[in-house]
Structure 1
């Protein structure tokens, strides 16, 4: 699988170009599935999910896809695998929305979706927004949203990309995203930690990472972490 890990979706021409390159064909020839599950941790979850699905927010669906469907992870344990697995396998891109990353990881595992991911086509693309990006990384740090992160269990990240991400860097409406606060968070992270703003994405293919940005990003890496 290929990854395009964003803070706020396909927000500028550089990120859009990176997406088209990962897909290997025009967007209007590609099928997409939207995963809104992360939103439902919050009281405003239904509104967040609506904005994601309609393209009003998170800038993922409104790009002229050949088709767009919605896959709700919390529903999957109650339905037969053959009702959803074939659709996932034939889909070109997974558009994974923001919300709470720990909640998202829980349902990626409990739904069986995380077990399916290693068997998907190598050309499939995961496009994450905020929590949807954090979910596939290696660490959430020692706490997230003032909640301790478990070291094991369903709420830990999937570890498919060997970095950590803190989205919305220096967002004027999010005090905790100031560079100094993100740098303090990064001290509890055992892998290279990236702070990315809403104009930045991280592209990962076969373990090779590239930052795509028209904005501001920071890499917080202590060479002694891996010692």
Structure 2
């Protein structure tokens, strides 16, 4: 699977161009499924937040980019309907758009639904993550980002990449997200880690990592 791991969506022309490169065609010719699940697991999540994400009325551009078609893939519903129903939906989509929220909650439902097991076989599909939707692809999120308690009892996520992510670096509304905070966070992890601001994304294709940025970032 091709990954575009963002802090705050497709915020600038550079990130949008990276998305087009991954799709291999214009956004207007691509079919998308959005995944709002992570938002329900975070203390700051709300039904209104999920609605804004799905309807493209957020400040983190994902669903409002001009897709040819858009559908909603709610992971908590998938175990009750069976893969024979939802698997064709995923196979027919060009891109999966994962909302922010709680990465451990999202990870849990990706595993419970069967989507996590499927992802490595979706070689030509694009995953665009927003904050927690990006962090879920990493090996660990670090104790600082644990809100929802996973049944595993730890901070481990899917590990489709070998680095961790600290999003929203130096965001004015998040005084706990300074570079010094990111450095302390990274020191608790056994793997490499990136701190990225909202104008930055990490593009990953076949294990090759590329930073796409009109802002600032740091590799620890």
Q: Scaled by the length of structure 2, what TM-score is found?
A: 0.94
1:205 and 2:218 correspond: no
Q: Secondary structure at the residue paired with 1:175? A: coil
Q: Secondary structure at the residue paired with 2:64? A: coil
Distance change >3 Å, CA 77–CA 64, structure 1 → 2 = same
Which whole-Å CA distance do the structure 2 matches of 1:86 and 1:155 have between them? 31
Distance change >3 Å, CA 147–CA 74, structure 1 → 2 = closer
Distance change >3 Å, CA 43–CA 199, structure 1 → 2 = closer
Number of the residue aligned with 1:138: 139
Number of the residue aligned with 1:126: 127
Number of the residue aligned with 1:29: 29
CA contact (8 A) 1:105 1:155 kept: no
Number of the residue aligned with 1:55: 56
Distance change >3 Å, CA 147–CA 183, structure 1 → 2 = farther
1:3 and 2:24 correspond: no
C-alpha RMSD of the superposition: 1.8
**Which portions of structure 1, spanning 4 or more consecutive aligned residues, are displaced by more than 6 angstroms?**
146-150
Which whole-Å CA distance do the structure 2 matches of 1:104 and 1:146 have between them? 12
Tell me how far 1:154 sits from its aligned partner: 8.6
Q: Secondary structure at the residue paired with 2:176? A: helix
1:88 and 2:96 correspond: no
1:185 and 2:161 correspond: no
Which whole-Å CA distance do the structure 1 matches of 2:86 and 2:153 have between them? 25
Number of the residue aligned with 1:68: 70
Tell me how far 1:45 sits from its aligned partner: 2.3
Tell me how far 1:147 sits from its aligned partner: 7.2
List gaps (5 residues or longer) in structure 2. none
For these two proteins, the number of residue pairs brought into alignment is 218
Select which of 97, 100, 112 maps to 1:98. 100
Tell me how far 1:116 sits from its aligned partner: 1.4
CA contact (8 A) 2:95 2:127 kept: yes
Q: Secondary structure at the residue paired with 1:84? A: helix
Tell me how far 1:149 sits from its aligned partner: 7.7
Number of the residue aligned with 2:110: 108
List gaps (5 residues or longer) in structure 1. 221-227
1:45 and 2:61 correspond: no
Tell me how far 1:139 sits from its aligned partner: 1.5
1:174 and 2:203 correspond: no
